[in-house]
Amino acid sequence: MAPSIEYYCPCLAESPHPPPPHLPSSSYSFHPLHNLFFCEECDAVRCNRCVLVEVSGYYCPNCLFEVPSASVRAEKNRCARNCFMCPNCRNTLTVVPSDPPDDGDSRTSPIVANTLGEAPFFLYCNHCRWDSAEVGIIFEKPTGLAAQLQKFEDSAPESLEFERLKEHFEPFLRASSSSALPSAAAAHHVHTNPITAAASSALARDIPGVGKYNPLARSRVGRDKHAHRHELPDYKARVEIAGAAALSGEADVEFLRHLETASEVAALEQRWTNSWVTSLRESDLKPLRIPLQSKKSKRCPSCRHILIKPEQKAQSVRFKIKLVAANYLPAIAVTLPHAQAALEMMKRSSNLGKSTSAAAAAEEQQAAGSLIAGHSYSFHLAFTNPLYDPIQIRLAKAVPAQAEGSDAEKTRRNTFHVQLPSTAFPVAAFAEAWEYDDDEEEMFGLDDDGMEIVDTRGKKSKDGRGKTRSVGIVERRANVTVVSGEVLIPKEARGDVKFNMLVSYTYRSDDPEPTEETEMGTPSRTHLTTKAPEMKNFSFYTVVDLGTIMYREEPKVIADL
C-alpha cells in the first residue's frame, strides 16, 4: 500500500486535537485534501460530514432535464419524461417500436398481431435484453411514457389502501384528539379546551394494562373495548391479505419449492421498496423510473456562508462559488524513497525481459516497499503551495493531548519513533505559469516550463535513490519543497506506522502586486490575499500513514521465491 496523508476536520470532536490514529473511529475525522472545503469567515477547514447541504436544483441524470421543484414532489423524485431503468441490471432502457416479424410469435398481445407499424412501443434494455412487453407494459406513442404509466401508478394498491386507512382513522382521531393518543397529540391540537386537555392528559398518564390489577377496572376494560368499538369501527381492508394470497401466499411457497435457479426470484434489492405484497418472480419486475439527482450547494455549519455552489444548468460541471481547501492549504504528498527506488529497480528488471508473473511482481513490489521491523527509513514529504505568497511551514508530531486510559496499549502501538524537521522551511509562491491551472488561463511559456519540470523531476529521482538519511530539506523547486523525515521502527513494533502531524504555516504578502494578481488569480485566492496583507498563521492536523510494519520472516520467504 502506498503511503498516504489525510487532513483533519475537527467537526466531529469536541477538542481541537485529533484522535489518536490507531483508533478505528479516527478514520472518520480525516479526509483527503480534495474532499475538504475552507471557510474564509471562520478560517477553518470544513468537510462533507459537517457542512450544511442545500439543494440548488434537481435534474435527471439520464436526460439532464432540469426538473422544476414543483413537479419534483408530484413525481416522487423521479424523472417524469422518458427515462427508465432496467429492473434487472439498472441499465437505461430505450424505447423501441415493435417489429412484427420478430415479435409476432412470441408476444401474445393482440395489438402486436394487428398492427404492422410501430404502434406499440416498449422499453428495451440493451444490456440484458429485458423488454417491458414481457410484463405487459406497452405504449401507444414513444413520448411521454411516464405520463402514460402515471395512471397505473395512481391506482397502485398501496396508495389506495393508504388513503382508505387515512379515512378510517381520521374521524376517530378528530373525535378523541388528544385523549386517545398518549403522545404529543395534545401539543398539536391547541384548539382544545384547556380543561379537557388537562383531563385527557391525566387520562393518558394512566398506564396500560391497569385493568388487570384493579378489580374495579375489570368491567371498565370491557366497557372501554365496547366504547372504542363504537368510536372506531373495524377496518375493512380494500384488499385483504388473504384475498391477495392467490398472488403470493401459497403460490410463493410452491414456486420456491420447485425453483430451478435462484435468479428466477427477484433479489431483495429489487423488491424491498414495495410495500405491497407482490410477486417474487424476477420476470414480473416493472421498469423503474430513473431517480432524480440534485445539485447541491454547501454552507459552513457555523457562519452559514456558502462554501461551494454549482451552476444551475444540469449540463454544466462548473461552480459559481468554490472554496475548496486545496486552494488554501499546502498539498502534501508522502513518499518512501526506498520503496520508489525498489519500484524503479523492478521496472528495469522487467524491461530487461525477466519472465516473472504479474502476481509475483506485485508481491515483490510490496515486499520491497515495505517497512521491516528493526530498520529505520526516511520518508519524503512534498509540500505544494497553492497560495500566491511564499509560506513558511513548521512541522510537529502531534502529541495526544488527552491521556486515555489505555496507556499500555498506546505505548505498545507507538513504538516507532518519528523524526521531523524541526525548523521552519519555506515553500515558494504558486505562480500560474509553473503548473497547469484548472481555470484555463492562458499558459504562457508552457514549453520552457515543461522542460524545467522534467529536469527537476529527474534530479529528484536521483536524490531519492541517493537515500539521504538526513532530516531536513531535500529539494526546492517552483512552489514545491520536499523535506525528509525519518522513522525508526524497533524490532518489536507491530501494526501500522501512522502518526498525527501538526502542520502550521505562516503566509505573508510582502509584495502583493495587486494589479497582476486580480488579473490571473481565481476569485478566492485574490480574496484571501487582499484580506490578509500582514502575516498570518494557520495550522492543521494531518495523519500520515506510511504503511504496515512487516516482519523479517516474510521478506525472506519472498526472496527465496
Partner 1 sequence: MSAVPTTPRRHHHESTTPAATPQTTRVASSHIVQASPHYQTTRRHSLYGTEDRVILDPGSRIWKVGFSGEGKPRDVFLAESDTARSLWTLNRASNPADREEEDRVLEAKLQACLRSVFHNSLLTDPKSRKVILVEHPLLPLHIKEIMARVLFNNLQVPSISFASSHLLALLAAGRITGLVLDCGHLETTVLPVFSFRPLYPHLRTTPLAGARLSSHIKALLLMFGTYIPPATSLSAAANIPAASRSVRVPQDVLTDKVIDEIKTRCCFVGEPFDTDPSGARASSPSGGGGGDNSSELDLPPSDPALSESDFSRVSAEIESSFSSAHAASSSYSVVSHSQLAGMDASHGHGHAGESRVQALATMYGRHSTATDIHLRVDPPPAQQTGTGRGTLIIPGWVRERAAEVLFDGGDVDESSVAEVILDCLLKAPVDLRRTLASTILVVGGTPMLPGFIPRLQAELVRAVTRIAAHAAPPPPSRSGRPRPATYDRYAALRPLLPYFAILNNPLPRPPASTHAAANAGKAPAFTPATMAWVGGSLAGALKTGGQEVNREKWDEAEAQPGEADMAVDDAPPRAAPAKNILPDWTRTPLPVGAPPAPRPPPVTGAVEAAAPPALHAQSVAG
Residues 219-238 that bind partner 1 (CB under 8 A): 221-222, 224-225, 228, 232, 234-238
Q: Are 295 and 57 in contact (CB under 8 A)?
A: yes
Interface residue with partner 1, options 223, 347, 348, 527 (CB under 8 A): 527
Give me the 348-387 binding string for partner 1, x by CB under 8 A, dash otherwise.
----------------------------------------
Interface residue with partner 1, options 35, 92, 148, 248 (CB under 8 A): 248
Question: What is the Cα 499 distance to its own chain's centre?
Answer: 25
Interface residue with partner 1, options 94, 114, 196, 275 (CB under 8 A): 275
Distance set, CA 554 to CA 373, 496, 497, 550 (Å): 11, 16, 18, 7
| DSSP string of 495-537, one letter each residue | SEEEEEEEEEEEE--SS--HHHHHHHS-HHHHHHHHH--S-EE
| Least distance to partner 1, CB of residue 185, Å | 5
CA angle 289, 147, 134 (to 5 degrees): 60
| Least distance to partner 1, CB of residue 141, Å | 26
Q: Is 273 in the site for partner 1 (CB under 8 A)?
A: yes
Q: Is 147 in the site for partner 1 (CB under 8 A)?
A: no
Nearer Cβ to partner 1 (164/476): 164
Write down the H helix ranges in 68-193: 69-74, 100-106, 110-114, 145-154, 157-175, 185-188
> What's the full length of the chain, in residues?
561
| Least distance to partner 1, CB of residue 360, Å | 14
Strands (E), 304-384: 306-310, 319-322, 331-335, 371-372, 376-384
Q: Is 283 in the site for partner 1 (CB under 8 A)?
A: no
Nearer Cβ to partner 1 (220/467): 220
| Least distance to partner 1, CB of residue 528, Å | 11
| Least distance to partner 1, CB of residue 170, Å | 6
Q: Are 465 and 347 in contact (CB under 8 A)?
A: no
Give me the 81-120 binding string for partner 1, x by CB under 8 A, dash otherwise.
----------------------------------------
Touching partner 1, residues 450-489 (CB under 8 A): none
Nearer Cβ to partner 1 (117/215): 215
Q: Is the dihedral of CA 512, 516, 518, 524 positive or negative?
A: negative
> Which one of 86-94, 207-215, 444-452, 456-464 is the stretch in contact with partner 1 (CB under 8 A)?
207-215
Interface residue with partner 1, options 151, 155, 191, 207 (CB under 8 A): 207
User: Which residues have CB under 8 Å from 375's CB, separation 6+?
Assistant: 489
Q: Identify the H or E element spanning 459.
A: helix 446-466
> Amino acid letter at 96?
V
**Residues contacting partner 1: total by CB under 8 A:** 120
| Least distance to partner 1, CB of residue 188, Å | 6
Cα–Cα dist 228/221, whole Å? 10
